[in-house]
């Protein structure tokens, strides 16, 4: 039996693509393996968003080259595939820097993987076209569905934030038709999936063709997905403040399956920096939007992304970011030092913030965000939540799952609870996870 090792290095969409590449290889007779040493095909699904993420690929490829020649000495063939956003951005450079790479394939072409692997026996291949065909219509059936699943509904980005490579690596915004999304969601539900996260680089810019040929927005897509039997929970990510329409706010109020959690990146709290980032919204516009979502669904947990040290960011700008974080109160957040990316407008600027100032600001911001996260977790102690059980827990006899607000919970229960939603009383808050007990009472609505 031929084996394939597929590893994802990036965002949720990158993880979704990695799973779909495993499906493509599965349809060709490959079984999935977690052990790279025994793999006949190794796929690295790469991320280009920050320099560190991109550089990791080359060090990993160095190790794979050694592995490939060791296997070769034993008469075993190994095909090395670089996929994802680094492949898209640096196809030729990857070929030049690492001769052991057999195939370079971009995020829009991976449905052609079997053909590319076959051709790579003659010579090394690069496929980074943005094809006219829709890869989704060429992908095989999904082979696995767990209790939770990602489902790509929209891809690409037309926003061109000054720091970001995504519009270049993923291309222009494209939405999948409603029928295609519903068909994939139904298959997942039939396979036992209880929670689906609709994903897109700019997911609330979704405007897929509906049944009558007119475009449908994300709010109506959510309402349609909510009707699928078996699907109890819906989430979506990542949205942009400027595409957040009233219909989506209403969906938070009116669709019980839509979970009270929102990841809405703001990047900075300084209007000057937001303008320089080409975000096209202010800190106050973001605050007002959060107010509307909270008015619609008061217990919505909030999450965001932040960049510190964007070129030209002063102490006063950074203080505005801290103020915004204090004003809003986040359950969780991701924060990064600005990383100049080739080809983006911000990378041309000469007023870079020094590494040491960036490090200080990141530490200060993360301390504040951590404190907010702990406070949020502590406030959960004593409450009962519906928990979707996803997998076995860290210790024997334990299972792990998530609350509607996406807090991770571990508790004692038999493994047959996996895939079910059960009430759990939170008894303790750890650093990364809550600990609970199966509750006898149901959650108060």
Q: Which helix (H) or strand (E) holds 85?
A: helix 84-97
Side-chain-side CA neighbours of residue 272 (13 Å): 11
β 195-199/148-152 pair status: parallel
Give Cα 83 to chain centroid, integer Å. 16
Q: Is 236 one of the binding residues for ligand SAH (CB under 6 A)?
A: no
Q: DSSP state, 441?
A: S
Letters for 330-349 (x = contact with ligand SAH by CB under 6 A, - = none) are ------x-xx-x--------
Please return the burial class of 290, using the count of CB atoms within 10 Å of its CB with bins 0-12, 13-18 and 19+. Answer: buried
Q: Does 84 bind ligand SF4 (CB under 6 A)?
A: no
The answer for residues whose C-beta is within 8 angstroms of residue 412's C-beta and 6 or more apart is 397, 398, 399, 437, 438
Least separation, in Å, of the C-beta of 441 and ligand SAH? 39
Cα-based torsion angle of the residue sequence 200, 211, 224, 159 in order, rounded to the nearest 10 degrees: 20
Which one of the spans 114-122, 162-170, 282-290, 372-380 is the region binding ligand F3S (CB under 6 A)?
162-170
Q: C-beta of 244: minimal distance to ligand SAH in Å? A: 12
Name which of 162 and 319 has its Cβ closer to ligand SAH. 162
Residue placing its CB nearer to ligand SAH in the complex, 52 or 141? 52
Among 157, 185, 196, 413, binds ligand SF4 (CB under 6 A): 157
Does 201 participate in binding ligand SAH (rule CB under 6 A)? yes
Q: Which of 159, 207, 272, 292 binds ligand SF4 (CB under 6 A)?
A: 159
Instruction: List CB contacts of 274: < 8 A, sequence separation 6 or more.
Output: 267, 268, 281, 282, 283
Among 33, 98, 169, 332, which residue interacts with ligand F3S (rule: CB under 6 A)?
169
In Å, what is the CA distance from 328 to each residue of 299, 317, 406?
13, 17, 18
Q: Is there binding between residue 202 and ligand SF4 (CB under 6 A)?
A: yes
Residue of 6, 85, 125, 166 that binds ligand SAH (CB under 6 A) = 166
> Is 148 an interacting residue with respect to ligand SAH (CB under 6 A)?
no
Say if strands 154-155 and 174-175 run parallel, antiparallel, or are unpaired.
Answer: antiparallel
Among 58, 130, 136, 160, binds ligand SF4 (CB under 6 A): 160
Known binding-site positions for [4Fe-4S] cluster: 11, 47, 85, 157, 161, 164
Looking only at residues 234 through 273 of this chain, which bind ligand SF4 when binding is defined by CB under 6 A? 240
d(CA 264, CA 285): 13
| Cα 24 from Cα 19, distance rounded (Å) | 9
Selected binder of ligand SF4 within 164, 222, 333, 389 (CB under 6 A): 164
Q: Which residues of 197-227 are buried (b: 16+ CB within 10 A; e: fewer)?
A: bbbbbbbbbbbbebeeeeebbbbbbbbbbbe
Nearest to ligand SAH of 341, 373 (CB atom): 341
Which residues here bind ligand SAH, judged by CB under 6 A? Answer: 49-50, 163-164, 166, 201-202, 238, 240, 265, 267, 305, 307, 336, 338-339, 341
Which residues here bind ligand SF4, judged by CB under 6 A? Answer: 157, 159-161, 164, 166-167, 201-202, 240
């Amino acid at each position: 039996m031929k084996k394939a090792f597929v590893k994802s290095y990036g965002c949720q969409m990158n993880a979704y693509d990695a799973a779909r590449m495993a499906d493509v290889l599965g349809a060709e007779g490959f079984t999935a393996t977690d052990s790279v040493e025994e793999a006949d095909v190794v796929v690295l699904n790469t991320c280009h968003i920050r320099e560190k993420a991109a550089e990791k690929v080359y060090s990993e490829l160095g190790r794979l080259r050694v592995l490939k020649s060791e296997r070769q000495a034993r008469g075993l063939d190994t095909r090395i595939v670089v996929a994802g956003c680094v492949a898209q951005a640096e196809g030729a450079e990857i070929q030049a820097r690492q001769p052991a790479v057999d195939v370079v394939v971009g995020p829009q072409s991976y449905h052609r993987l079997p053909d590319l692997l076959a051709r790579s026996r003659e010579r090394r291949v690069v496929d980074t076209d943005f094809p006219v065909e829709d890869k989704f219509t060429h992908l095989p059936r999904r082979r696995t569905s767990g209790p939770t699943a990602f489902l790509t509904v929209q891809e690409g980005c037309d926003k061109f934030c000054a720091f970001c490579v995504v519009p270049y690596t993923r291309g222009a915004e494209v939405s999948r038709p409603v029928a295609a999304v519903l068909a994939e969601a139904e298959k997942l539900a039939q396979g036992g999936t209880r929670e689906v996260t609709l994903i897109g680089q700019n997911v609330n810019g979704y405007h897929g063709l509906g049944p009558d040929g007119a475009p449908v927005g994300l709010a109506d897509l959510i309402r349609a997905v909510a009707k699928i039997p078996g699907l109890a929970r819906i989430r979506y990510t990542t949205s942009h403040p400027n595409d957040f329409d009233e219909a989506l706010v209403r969906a938070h109020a009116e669709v019980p399956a839509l979970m009270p959690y929102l990841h809405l990146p703001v990047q900075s709290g300084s209007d000057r920096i937001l303008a320089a980032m080409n975000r096209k919204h202010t800190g106050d516009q973001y605050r007002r939007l959060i107010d509307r979502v909270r008015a619609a669904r008061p217990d919505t947990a909030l999450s965001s992304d932040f960049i510190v040290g964007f070129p030209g960011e002063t102490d006063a700008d950074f203080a505005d970011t801290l103020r915004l974080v204090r004003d809003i109160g986040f359950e969780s957040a991701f924060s990064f030092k600005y990383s100049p990316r080739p080809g983006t407008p911000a990378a041309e600027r000469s007023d870079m913030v020094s590494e040491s100032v960036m490090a200080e600001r990141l530490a200060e911001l993360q301390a504040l965000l951590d404190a907010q996260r702990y406070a949020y977790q502590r406030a959960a102690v004593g409450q009962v939540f519906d928990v979707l059980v996803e997998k076995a827990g860290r210790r024997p006899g334990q299972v792990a799952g998530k609350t509607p607000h996406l807090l991770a919970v571990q508790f004692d229960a038999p493994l047959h609870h996996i895939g079910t939603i059960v009430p759990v009383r939170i008894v303790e808050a750890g650093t990364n996870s809550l600990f609970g007990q199966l509750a006898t009472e149901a959650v108060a609505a």
